[in-house]
Amino acid sequence: MTHHEEYVKSLEYALKTEQDGRAMYLQAKDEAAAPLAQATFQMLADEELKHVETIKHFHQHLADSGQWPELATIVPGEHADLVAGIATIFEQRGAAAVEAAAETADDTAAYETALQFESRARAWYAEHRDTTADEKARAFYQFMYEEENRHYELLEETLTFLDSTADWFAKHERPFYTGG
């Protein structure tokens, strides 16, 4: 198998993985009890759709030209908005999420499944990044690794919030304790 064929196959696998991830997140959103979990899973499903479109662009360019495109010419700017989306979810859910946190025992299993999924995706992209000789391919795999890593961090953060809301607020709100 040529390098070109290997790259095309890897993009086909990546596309299928992202499509499966989107389906998983939409199902998790529909089954989630907590509004924060629903919002998180919807945001991740939307992110997976962006990844699908990005991979399709890369796949098409590679199939048409036999060359990897420049990352900056294909990747839409919306991919950088995940960090802002994380902050928005917490801001919007604040008190409602605290009230719903007690209802999230079933949501925890969905988060753990999603964390495993994102962990496998990160490992796959890292492996391909680390074993390719093509700089453009490496840039693509690194970009996707970073995307999956942000997903993993979002899931960890919201799971901590849902499982240990008081601890989460203590960490992020930096309380001031007084002796008394």
Residue 16 has pLDDT above 60, yes or no: yes
Q: Taking the domain 3-173, which CATH number applies? A: 1.20.1260.10
Distances (CA, A) of 137 to 17, 44, 48, 127, 175: 18, 24, 20, 12, 45
Q: Find how far residue 167's CA is from the centre of its chain.
A: 24
Segment 79-106, tens digit of pLDDT: 445 556 655 666 665 555 555 554 556 7
Q: Find how far residue 142's CA is from the centre of its chain.
A: 14
Domain coordinates in residue numbering, the chain? 3-173
* DSSP result, 168-179: HHHHHH------
Residue bearing tokens 């299993």: 109
Q: How many CB atoms lie within 10 A of CB 83?
A: 11
pLDDT, residue 39, reads 84
Segment 122-138, tens digit of pLDDT: 999 999 999 999 999 99
Residue 176 has pLDDT above 60, yes or no: no
- Of 158, 147, 167, 139, whose CA–CA distance to 50 is shortest? 147
pTM here is 0.81
- Of 79, 78, 55, 80, whose CA–CA distance to 137 is shortest? 55
